Amino acid sequence: QQQVKQSPQSLIVQKGGISIINCAYENTAFDYFPWYQQFPGKGPALLIAIRPDVSEKKEGRFTISFNKSAKQFSLHIMDSQPGDSATYFCAALYNQGGKLIFGQGTELSVKP
Amino acid sequence: DTGVSQDPRHKITKRGQNVTFRCDPISEHNRLYWYRQTLGQGPEFLTYFQNEAQLEKSRLLSDRFSAERPKGSFSTLEIQRTEQGDSAMYLCASTYPDSGTDTQYFGPGTRLTVL
């Protein structure tokens, strides 16, 4: 299967809190897992990405945790800010340069 | 690096009309992708090119859809005899896999509304 399942569908977090979004996949051939951020009316923009040989990757306030045996990965946003309010998509790719398979998206709202 | 550009940004058409969208990838990116995104969903793959060769087409791409990249630079996506179900955001992305990266850079999209 090529499906990527994402949860939750929507998330409300207080300013300064931690936002956690989860994804699960079936195809063990996937070898690249990016997270994209999308604002209304804009195209998706790459936030952070990880490969399955690494269990965690951190860039600023954003961290990906990867569990290869469980076929799950998650995005953690530390010290969430109102400017982080957007829709977040996880994705997976198994053929370098090939198509991305996206999750259904999580609409994050950070309340001041 | 001016980013991926798409034109037009918005298109309103009547059912049955033909529409064409254009995508200009990042310079020197030899792979170009088209995705479709409906409200509340993640982007869905439609097709992609390496230079001028179309390497893969999704089953979502009915025979009313055709994409070209004639000189390996910009690409066009044409939808013939549009239907209301074609209303969506059409996204273009590009990448240069020979550089060792898998990052796909997306354009702002073309929002199509079929009345």
User: Does B7 touch chain A if contact means CB atoms closer than 8 Å?
Assistant: no
Pairing type for strands B88-95 and B105-106 reads antiparallel
Nearest CA among B44, B53, B55, B52 for reference residue B88: B44
Unique residue bearing structure tokens 């001041």:
A112
Count CA atoms within 13 Å of residue B88 on its CB side: 20
Phi, psi of A91 (to 5 degrees): -150, 165
Cβ count within 10 A of residue B62: 12
Under the banding of pLDDT at 50, 70 and 90, the label for residue B92 is: very high
DSSP for residue A32: B
Contact flag A43-B91 (C-beta cutoff 8 Å): yes
Q: Which residue among B42, B44, B108 sits closest to A43, beta carbon to beta carbon? A: B108
For A58-106, the pLDDT digits (tens) are 999 999 999 999 999 999 999 999 999 999 999 999 776 689 999 999 9
Q: Which helix (H) or strand (E) holds A6?
A: strand A4-7
Average predicted confidence (pLDDT) for chain B? 93
Q: Give the whole-angstrom CA distance, residue B7 versus residue B21.
A: 6
Give Cβ neighbours of residue A45 (< 8 Å, ≥ 6 apart): A36, A37, A38, B106
Chain B residue with minimum CA distance to A39:
B108
Give Cβ neighbours of residue B25 (< 8 Å, ≥ 6 apart): B4, B32, B73, B74, B75, B92, B94
In whole angstroms, how far apart are CA A65 and each of A35, B4, B5?
12, 30, 32
Structure tokens at B31: 């792979």
Chain B residue with minimum CA distance to A42:
B108
pLDDT of residue B20: 98
Under the banding of pLDDT at 50, 70 and 90, the label for residue A9 is: very high
> Which residue in A100, A104, A107 has the most chain B C-beta atoms within 10 A of its own C-beta, making it the best mutation to test that interface?
A100
Q: A6 with A23: CB under 8 angstroms?
A: yes
Q: pLDDT over 90 for what percent of chain A?
A: 88
Q: Which residue among A43, A49, A103 sits closest to B103, beta carbon to beta carbon? A: A49
pLDDT of residue A2: 60
pLDDT of residue A98: 85
pLDDT of residue B61: 84
DSSP for residue A2: -
Under the banding of pLDDT at 50, 70 and 90, the label for residue B1 is: low
Q: Which residues in chain A have Cβ-Cβ distances shorter than 8 Å to B33?
A: 99-100
Average pLDDT of the segment spanning B23-29:
93
Q: How far is B64 from chain A (nearest CA, A)?
A: 21
Q: Which stretches within B25-64 are classed as H helix?
A: none
Residue A26 has pLDDT above 60, yes or no: yes
Return the ∠ at Cα B37 (arms to B34 and B42), rounded to 5°.
105
Q: B69 with B5: CB under 8 angstroms?
A: no
Q: Which residue among B33, B41, B103 sits closest to A105, beta carbon to beta carbon? A: B41
